[in-house]
Structure 1
Amino acid sequence: RVPVSGFILGEMALSAQAPGKLVFPFAPAYLEDMTINLDHPKLSGETTVRNAVTEVAAMVGENVKLRRGFMLSTTAHGVVSSYLHTCPQPGLGRIAGLITLEAEDSSASLDALKRVGSSIAMHIVAAKPLFLSKELVSAAAVENERDVFRTQAESSGKPQMAIEKMVEGRLKKYFEDVVLLEQKYVVNDSTNIKTLLSDLSKEVGSKVTIGNFIRLEVGEGIERREETARPEATACAA
């Protein structure tokens, strides 16, 4: 399997204008007929996404398929930042982190937002957050975790008051593990992403928030099969 990324397509999608703050998934069929302009030594000029994928497959000698695509949109005072991991060449990688940062004040420095946004995108790749904020974790999921932690704590035989403290402590750790704003910053674990945004807001003189984020990894969601699997199951898919 070789690293294949539709990141040029992603950049094109990210530049499209769309209302509101969205993470909009595209089915491959929607993207395949899209016309794009490529600037690459081996692939240049105007073509369709379908033809570009076919050309890439021929170049790498693999069965390459376009499996999915996403669009993030932001406000007029926001930026979309990205980070690619395991990147053999520009625009190609196995894992991508994408994030939108938005400032309330139009005078805020977009360069500062891009700088911090790229760093948080790298953090997203490394830390694998599942939610943006604690409020976005469903009540059912929180209660399920709480029940699991309570069962574990009760097995310690400690008093009920101590058990409740243990449960709340483990629930706090759960949020720090899966919620982006609560996670410790991988570049500096003495702070978290929420504090990083607060510091950025002070730097640019405007409140800065995260609109949304995506983490993508080549092959995620594809069921792993034995070497005798059907050819399409082992196709390189971004």
Structure 2
Amino acid sequence: MAAISAAQVKELRETTGAGMMDCKQALNQTDGDMEAAVDWLRKKGLAAAAKKAGRVAAEGLVGVAVKGTTGAVVEVNAETDFVARNPDFQTFVSTVAEVALGVEGDVEALKAAAYPGGGTVAEELTNLIARIGENMTLRRFARLSTSQGLIGSYVHAATAPGLGKIGVLVALETSGDVGKIEELGRQISMHVAAANPQWASTDEVDTTALDRERAVLSEQARASGKPENIVEKMVEGRLRKYYEEVVLVEQVWVLDPDQKVKAVLAEAGKTAGAPVSVPGYVRMALGEGVEKAEQDFAAEVAATLNR
């Protein structure tokens, strides 16, 4: 049997889109013959994903999983929203979210993680692509944990438990009675889904973004012709408004417009018997940042018929 190099496995994987172990087996079965290995994979149905790899995948599902004081959220994309209702696809996204609870690192680390039942997450995704017949990608994931307190979660536009269009995790940190703030964890997660803050607190605001905002507000204020000391006060006032738009604790509480989130947290601290804070959160919306291909309905039908 011919010795199979890592370079050969890599080349076959890039050509076919099949999993690494499948490519290695194909090369072993064909004594390293690349073309024969491609045919071997095609016969096994493992190279089907290659035909679909160039198609835009901007639909799909966001999956959320929480266990104890750790939560994970993943985004798995597909070409059409029909796939989001496919039981096999839903099972895959839910399972990957559970796997992500124990994975540290980037999305490549999650792809390389063991998938329940055998193989890796990446290999199971390749198998799923072959079965369903659409291009799919495990685009990103994030974990959130707290040393004391809880992880609240919320899924917007849910198609199944823990699966939907927007997934949110919120860490509530407290040494008080966690049982008394469980509902607050869900409520703040809903708030984050709706209000889409950029930072948890004013201390976290990116200095570059703040300097840019300050410069714009300063120019706007000076255009009014007011003295410089008045301009400074105008800028500070407008910066407070900016914080109310982008900082979680400074935002108006979606459940009560007369309160800010920081007031809600202060009240929760009294209920829990110890201060409650939000050290971090994750908000992941399906398809954000993915450039979708524009296509008219007739062209979409024609493309479907030609597949």
Q: What TM bracket, shorter-length normalisation? A: 0.7 to 0.9
Deviations 1:47-84 (A, max 9, x none): 74235534654676532211111111211x22111111
Normalising by the residue count of structure 1, what TM-score does the alignment of the two structures yield?
A: 0.76
Q: Deviations over 1:175-211 (max 9, x none)?
A: 1111111111111121111111111110010111112
Q: Which has the higher contact order (CA 8 A, sep 6+)?
A: 1
| SS of structure 2 residue aligned to 1:5 | strand
Superposed CA deviations along residues 18-72 of structure 1, whole A, max 9, x for unmatched, are xxxxxx6522x311242355xxxxxxx6774235534654676532211111111
Q: Does 1:197 align with 2:265?
A: yes
Please state if 1:63 is matched with 2:131.
no
Q: Which amino acid aligns with 2:173?
A: E
Stretches of structure 1 that go unaligned for 5 or more consecutive residues are 18-23, 38-44, 229-238
2:122 counterpart SS class: helix
Q: 2:152 aligns with which of 50, 61, 81?
A: 81
Identity %: 37
CA apart distance, 1:6: 3.9
Larger radius of gyration: 2
User: When the two structures are superposed, what TM-score results if normalisation uses the length of structure 2?
Assistant: 0.61
Equivalent position of 2:110 in the other structure: 31
Pairing of 1:1-238 with structure 2 (within 5 A):
2-7=59-64, 8=94, 9-14=96-101, 16=102, 26-27=106-107, 29-37=108-116, 48-54=120-126, 57=129, 61-75=133-147, 77-103=148-174, 105=175, 108-227=176-295
Larger strand share, 1 or 2:
1
Q: Identify the structure with the greater helix proportion.
A: 2
For structure 2, the residue ranges without an aligned partner over 5 or more in a row are: 1-57, 65-93, 297-307
Does the Cα contact within 8 Å between 1:25 and 1:68 map onto a contact in 2?
A: no
Deviation at 1:135, TM superposition (A): 1.2
Aligned residues: 209
Cα RMSD of the aligned pairs, angstroms, is: 2.6
CA distance in 1, matches of 2:132, 2:182: 33
